[in-house]
Amino acid sequence: MKIHVVVPAFREGKLVPSFLESWAGIIDHEVEIYLVNGNPGDETSALLRAWSGRCRVREIQGSPDRFWTGLVNLGLRAVAETIGSDDAVVLTNIDVKFEGDPVSGMLRRSGGLENRQLTLPVVGSGGKVLSAGVRVRSWSFSLNRHLFDGITAADLPADTLVEATYLPTRFVLLPAKALLEGHLPNEEHLPHYCADYEYTNRLRSCGYQPCIVTGPVVEIAEGNTGLDTYSLGTTFRSRLEGIGDIKCPYHFRYRFHFVRLTYPAAALIPGMVTHFTKIFLEIIFGGRQLDRFRVR
């Protein structure tokens, strides 16, 4: 099995060496990295030209006007041109690093990729889980459970496979046939925020069950995760000023398209109401003030 790694990047050269070194440590699989550069010709391009590690690295040239989904689509389409039916794809972030071989650990603990998409807990520098997956408790009430959120890596259950409704794409393992069937993220309506959740939910609707594998973990650079409107340091004014930012979780246009593209038809109208009610409350009071009401 060959592992095709798709990773978008934009002026993040300082993160490239540790990312490549992590993947060069994998010895059980042949690895090819497709780094989709949103600013070709920059320091990232220079680093890739100088790379001489174990895994093969290809630079896919993007452009500054392409956001997360546009860059990801370029990479996934390049992979689809050469991928073998027994291969797998990892969609990940440039700020992810790890030791050992999390892919082999995921495959061994899950029993394989047949009709599945897999992720594992992503932890911050403090050792706590920042993301794993979301289980929808009620579409109509926009009631979600963020699985393993805030748990320390040491307290995670050992070697379990937990089903979710959709996954963040910080480290997602997909079977080759998902790409060969033409499943890609929605580039037109969700260029950045929520695009990863829309994509994994769409894969689920096409028969690829999202699952979290516990055991291996990967680490992410918390300072590179975009706008954090949940942090204790945000103010009402700053939350209002950030609404129009492409990376803002409250961006009304993309949130509207997220609900429209993701929610089942029967829950679309009530889900739209409850979803935006939650957003307005978070803008007014701040996400951390509402943490106590989140379903763990």
Could you give the angle at which helices 195-205 and 252-262 cross, rounded to 10 degrees? Answer: 10
Closest CA to 74 of 97, 164, 26, 65: 65
pLDDT at 282: 82
Instruction: Give the whole-angstrom CA distance, residue 201 versus residue 112.
Output: 20
b/e per residue 120-135 (b: at least 16 CB within 10 A): bbbbbeeeebbbbbbb
Q: Tell me, what's the pLDDT at 27? A: 85
How many whole angstroms separate alpha carbon 71 and alpha carbon 254? 17
What contacts 280, CB < 8 A, 6 or more positions away?
Answer: none
CATH number of the domain to which 190 belongs: 3.90.550.10
Question: Residues 178, 83: contact at Cβ < 8 Å?
Answer: no
pTM over 0.85: yes
Residue 254: DSSP 8-state: H
Predicted confidence at residue 294, as pLDDT, reads 54
Cβ-count burial of 139 within 10 angstroms (0-12 exposed, 13-18 middle, 19+ buried)?
Answer: buried
pLDDT under 50: residue ranges of the chain = 295-296
- Six token digits for residue 214: 């516990």
Task: Give the per-residue pLDDT at 296.
Answer: 47
74-130: pLDDT as tens digits = 999 999 999 999 999 999 999 999 999 999 999 999 998 989 999 999 998 788 999
pLDDT of residue 176: 95
Q: Which domain holds residue 272?
A: 2-293
- Looking from the CA of 238 toward its CB, the CA atoms found within 13 Å total 11
Q: CA separation (Å) from 15 to 18, 20, 33, 120, 261? A: 6, 9, 15, 21, 32
**Residue 57 DSSP SS3:** strand
- Give the Cα separation of 114 and 112 in Å (integer): 6
Residue labelled with tokens 């979803």:
275
What are 218-232's pLDDT values in tens digits?
A: 999 866 555 555 555
> Taken in order 44, 49, 55, 60, is the CA torsion positive or negative?
positive
Number of domains in the chain: 1
